[in-house]
Every structure is written in C-alpha cells, then in structure tokens.
Amino acid sequence: MAASTEPGAPRLAALASLIADETRAACLLALLDGRAWTAGELARHAGVAASTASEHLGKLVAGGLLAEERQGRHRYLRLADAQVAQLLEGLAGYAVPDGGERPPTLRAASARTAMARGRTCYDHLAGRLGITVTDAMVERGLLRADTDPSASSAFALTDAGHGWFRALGAPLEPGPRRPLARGCLDWTERRLHLAGRAGAALCGHAFAAGWVERIGSERAVRVTGAGEQALRAELGVATLR
C-alpha cells in the first residue's frame, strides 16, 4: 500500500497513538486539573504498577504532550501547555455520549455530579460554574459573544472587561501564543465556557481570593461562602453551592 501523500498524516497518526491507550488517557485526564503530579500519584490514579506508568509517561513526554520537572528524587509531570489541555477537553467532550454512561457506584455518581457542578479545565473554570460565570460576563458586557456559539473564538474581552479584570486585581498576563479569550467546549454542559488568558486569570483569582476550593482528589471545585458573595456582587450570579 502506498504511503499517504498528506504531509500531516504521520504526525496526526502518531499523536492519536499516544492517546489511544487507556492508561495514558487516564494520566492525561488527571492532569487536566492544571497541577503537576508525581509519577507515583499518576500510577495509583491509573491503577497500574509504577514501572508501567513510568514507561507510559516517558512516551507522553517524548511525544510532547507532557513536560516533566525533577525536584530531588521526585519526578513531577504536567501537561505541556494549554493547547494540549484544549485538545484533551475537546476529545473528552466528543467521547462522552449525551447523558453519559451510568456510573457503576454511588461514589462514582457523586464524583461525576460534583465535576458537572464545577471543576477546573486545566487552568480555567468549567462545568455549570464555568458556564454560569461566562454567561454573566456576557450579560454584563465584559465579554462579547460571537454569533456562532460553536466557534472556539466565540468570545472577545471588551474594554469594560479589561477594566473589570484590572479592578479585580487579576492581571492578564501577556502571551502571544495563547488567545486572550476563547471558548472551550464543556463536555458536561455541551456549551462553551471562557478559556484563554482571561479564563486562566479569573480562575487563578478565584482560588487566591478563596472564592472556590477543590474537593476530593478529582478536578471538582465548589464555591465557598465568600465566593458566593463575591460572585453575586461582581457578576450578579445566584447561589452556586
């Protein structure tokens, strides 16, 4: 059989083969929480031996999906960049059918409910929390929504939005390779939430100011009492806890 004449085909096939393994997929999805994990933590999360995890993680690092840092005898791994997170979140949304599969246990059902209510998607807010905050920003004129809600470039920060972030004390870090504001398809809500540098700045501020806190070992977050008051004052958002 003749080789493909499409120059991007080999690279796409190689990328797909990296993700097309359940252990590697489990590690990648875990790292969507935006934090660095040790190889041992990822091994336990994926339910495999440390040696097995190390082999899989080495392939992901070599393939450019993960970056690693060493501190003493510990090896920490994280997603290479926001583009990898965007790819994974998009694939997860495509892979989960409408309604999803029935969780096998009560614990799994509770975890999925918490994730759907509010979670982090790499470095921005997702789930109903992310959608609600995004909608409120659009309603208040802080974000401009594109007429095509499926477009990843569906959002643009307005002048009022820039002023709001400055007043909030959440600086928008420069980053020419990453858009200021973009839409990220939420795999539980099937709508776009705010990502990009603005989404990251808002999420970082929410954690630093104590508006949200992590729950459990997954990506799930919940709005605190202080966060409920702040979101109501800043964006007119109703109860989210």
Does residue 12 or residue 4 have the better pLDDT? 12
Indicate the number of domains in the chain: 2
Domain boundary among 49, 80, 111: 80
Write down the pLDDT at residue 21. 93
DSSP 8-state assignment for residue 220: B
Q: Does 91 fall in a domain?
A: no
**Same-domain pairing of 23 and 108:** no
Structure tokens at 163: 């002023």
User: Mind giving me the DSSP string for 82-150?
Assistant: HHHHHHHHHHHHHHSPTT-PPPSSHHHHHHHHHHHHSEEETTEEEHHHHHHHHHHHHHTTSEEE-S-TT
DSSP 8-state assignment for residue 79: E
**Same-domain pairing of 61 and 109:** no
Beta-carbon count within 10 A of 147 CB: 6
Q: What is the pLDDT of residues 67-77, one digit of tens each?
A: 998 887 778 99
**Same-domain pairing of 142 and 202:** yes
Does residue 188 or residue 181 have the better pLDDT? 181
Q: Quote the pTM value.
A: 0.72
**Same-domain pairing of 29 and 121:** no
**Same-domain pairing of 32 and 144:** no
Residue 174's nearest CA partner among 204, 196, 207 is: 196
Q: Does 50 fall in a domain?
A: yes
Write down the pLDDT at residue 159. 94
For residue 240, the number of C-alpha atoms closer than 13 Å in the C-beta half-sphere is: 33
Q: What is the pLDDT of residues 22-47, one digit of tens each?
A: 999 999 988 988 888 999 999 999 99
Q: Does 97 fall in a domain?
A: no
Answer whether 145's CB lies under 8 Å from 135's CB.
no
Q: Is 227 helix (H, G, I), strand (E, B) or coil?
A: helix
Write down the pLDDT at residue 137. 96
**Same-domain pairing of 152 and 39:** no
Q: Does 172 fall in a domain?
A: yes
Q: Does 195 fall in a domain?
A: yes
Write down the pLDDT at residue 2. 55
Q: Does 67 fall in a domain?
A: yes
CATH at residue 37 = 1.10.10.10
Alpha-carbon distance values, 171 to 15, 31, 179, 190 (Å): 34, 25, 15, 29
**Same-domain pairing of 124 and 215:** yes
Q: What share of the chain is helix, strand, coil (3-state, %, to 5)?
A: 50, 15, 35
Q: Is 18 helix (H, G, I), strand (E, B) or coil?
A: helix
- Full domain range(s) for residue 165: 102-235
Q: What is the pLDDT of residues 78-101, one digit of tens each?
A: 999 888 888 887 787 676 655 455
Write down the pLDDT at residue 151. 53
**Same-domain pairing of 41 and 156:** no
Return the percentage of the chain with pLDDT > 90, whole number.
Answer: 47
Write down the pLDDT at residue 152. 53
Domain boundary among 20, 48, 80: 80
**Same-domain pairing of 132 and 21:** no
Q: What is the pLDDT of residues 159-177, one digit of tens each?
A: 999 999 999 999 887 766 7
DSSP 8-state assignment for residue 176: T
Write down the pLDDT at residue 112. 65
**Same-domain pairing of 72 and 108:** no
Domain boundary among 21, 50, 80: 80
Write down the pLDDT at residue 106. 46
Q: Whole-angstrom Cα distance, residue 219 to residue 215?
A: 8
Q: Does 170 fall in a domain?
A: yes
Q: Does 88 fall in a domain?
A: no
**Same-domain pairing of 68 and 172:** no
**Same-domain pairing of 112 and 228:** yes
**Residues 6 or more apart whose Cβ sits within 8 Å of residue 106:** none
